[in-house]
């Protein structure tokens, strides 16, 4: 069995336009709608298709379910020099997180670093976008978020953690910035979806069934199955991925006063919120570190270039297989898609056509 997705290619601008207009139609002001569209398109351009316009329908569904406030009053509710906590007022994470990151950058200008915990937010798109906001300021940027519970801790069969990504972005001189952006799950859902469409048996370690046992049958995910933490299997160190997911959950959920663990509000609108929520909405944590407070910025950037070059030129296993540094593939995709457009599959196109009809927007 071979699956062939029908792909059609769109310009970045055309997809930005529909995203912008959908957010406007949902009630955003123009600045917020532009910001949200910008975060989504950064994912599409960088090849992280699961977090781009393919999510638009999901945000709309959450808004229709009354779980997103399109006119949030985002406020700092507590602060102390380099630190602050933000109440996102149930806004789009796509809007709330960049606001927090801007404050973190301002704090870093004043105090060397700036750190924001964010509660009462929603899905914030790709973590890398927010971390990369620090780059033009010669700062290291950092962003984390908790997410829909879908991963059981080691020895458990209950989804207690999301894919809880963390991202760091480092400025460079002539090289592209080093951007580390990874989910603390062993595998992206997108990869599983591709395997499902292609009817493939998936590798041992990608998922577990509802009883917590390893499964290579992708259909288990529709029957209570779950993802695994980075490390995949207990013998390969899945307790480390569980610990990393926990780190992100505590920094984003507990420190901010958001929900955590099994109570994190799911992205899919048809899943109800659990009773007895311990916090407010979903949580993020962002930070900015000014290089100059640690080392001369020009020296740091030159060393980053050297770091990247040394990794790129490390001895290869197979001469034909290039060594990539974190974030490099995304820059390659960005260049390619900026030139040639963004391919979308039939399902996503159908979703966008549906939204264009629903909101009477041209697409």
The interface with a second copy within residues 87-126 (CB under 8 A) comprises: 110-113, 115, 117
**Region 212-231 residues binding a second copy, contact defined as CB under 8 A:** 212-213, 230-231
**Residues 6+ positions from 343 with CB-CB distance below 8 Å:** 7, 8, 9, 10
Interatomic CA distance for residues 342 and 336, integer angstroms: 9
Closest CA to 98 of 72, 124, 117: 124
Q: Least distance to a second copy from the beta carbon of 295, Å?
A: 6
Contact status: 316 vs a second copy (CB under 8 A): yes
71 binds a second copy (CB under 8 A): no
Looking only at residues 254 through 313 of this chain, which bind a second copy when binding is defined by CB under 8 A? 254-257, 260-262, 278-279, 289-295, 299-300, 303-304, 306-307, 310-311
User: Contact, 173 vs 297, CB < 8 A?
Assistant: no
Binding-site string for a second copy from residue 8 to residue 47, where x marks contact by CB under 8 A and - marks none: ----------------------------------------
- CB nearer to a second copy: pick between 71 and 316: 316
Sheet holding 178-182, edge to edge: 75-80, 83-87, 113-121, 282-290, 139-145, 166-170, 178-182
Give first-to-last CA distance, the chain, whole Å.
Answer: 33
Using the contact rule CB under 8 A, the part of the chain among 49-57, 92-100, 199-207, 218-226 near a second copy is 199-207
64 vs 299 by CB, closer to a second copy: 299
Of 134 and 160, CB closest to a second copy:
160
- Closest to a second copy by CB, 56 vs 264, is 264
Distance of CA 151 to the CA centre of its chain: 16
Taking CB under 8 A as the criterion, the residue among 16, 63, 168, 267 binding a second copy is 168
- Kindly tell me which of 118 and 133 has the beta carbon lying closer to a second copy: 118
Phi, psi (degrees; rounded to nearest 5) at 107: -65, -40
From the CB of 30, what's the least distance to a second copy, in Å?
Answer: 32
Nearer to a second copy, 94 or 251 (CB): 251
> Measured at the alpha carbon of residue 246, what is the angle toward residues 53 and 226, in degrees to the nearest 5?
60
CA dihedral 346→350→353→358, nearest 10 degrees, is: -170
Residue 315 interacting with a second copy (CB under 8 A): yes
Q: Which of 218, 225, 229, 164 is nearest to 194 (CA)?
A: 218
162 binds a second copy (CB under 8 A): no
3-class secondary-structure state, position 29 = coil
């Amino acid at each position: 069995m071979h699956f062939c997705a029908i792909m059609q290619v769109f310009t970045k601008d055309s997809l930005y336009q529909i995203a912008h207009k959908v957010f406007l139609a949902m009630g955003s002001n123009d600045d917020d709608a532009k910001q949200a569209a910008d975060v989504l398109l950064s994912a599409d351009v960088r090849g992280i298709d699961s977090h781009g316009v393919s999510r638009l329908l999901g945000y709309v569904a959450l808004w229709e379910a009354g779980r997103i406030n399109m006119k949030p009053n985002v406020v700092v509710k507590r602060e102390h020099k380099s630190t602050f906590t933000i109440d996102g007022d149930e806004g789009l994470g796509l809007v709330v997180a960049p606001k927090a990151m801007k404050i973190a950058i301002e704090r870093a200008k004043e105090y060397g670093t700036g750190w924001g915990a964010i509660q009462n937010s929603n899905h914030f798109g790709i973590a890398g976008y927010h971390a990369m906001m620090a780059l033009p300021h010669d700062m290291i940027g950092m962003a984390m978020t908790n997410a829909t519970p879908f991963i059981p801790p080691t020895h458990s069969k209950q989804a207690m953690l999301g894919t809880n990504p963390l991202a760091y972005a480092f400025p460079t001189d002539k090289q592209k910035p080093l951007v580390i952006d990874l989910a603390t799950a062993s595998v992206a859902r997108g990869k599983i979806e591709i395997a499902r469409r292609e009817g493939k048996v998936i590798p041992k370690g990608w998922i577990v069934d509802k009883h917590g046992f390893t499964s290579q049958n992708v259909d288990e995910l529709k029957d209570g199955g779950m993802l695994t933490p980075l490390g995949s299997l207990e013998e390969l160190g899945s307790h480390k991925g569980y610990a990393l997911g926990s780190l992100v959950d505590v920094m984003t959920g507990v420190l901010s006063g958001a929900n955590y663990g099994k109570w994190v509000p799911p992205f899919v609108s048809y899943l109800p919120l659990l009773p007895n929520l311990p916090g407010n909405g979903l949580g993020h944590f962002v930070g900015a570190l000014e290089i100059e407070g640690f080392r001369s910025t020009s020296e740091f950037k030159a060393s980053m270039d050297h770091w990247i070059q040394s990794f790129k030129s490390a001895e290869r296993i197979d001469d034909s297989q290039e060594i990539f540094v974190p974030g490099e593939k995304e820059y390659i995709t960005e260049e390619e898609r900026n030139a040639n457009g963004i391919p979308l599959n039939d399902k996503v196109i159908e979703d966008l056509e549906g939204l264009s009809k629903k909101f009477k927007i041209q697409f």
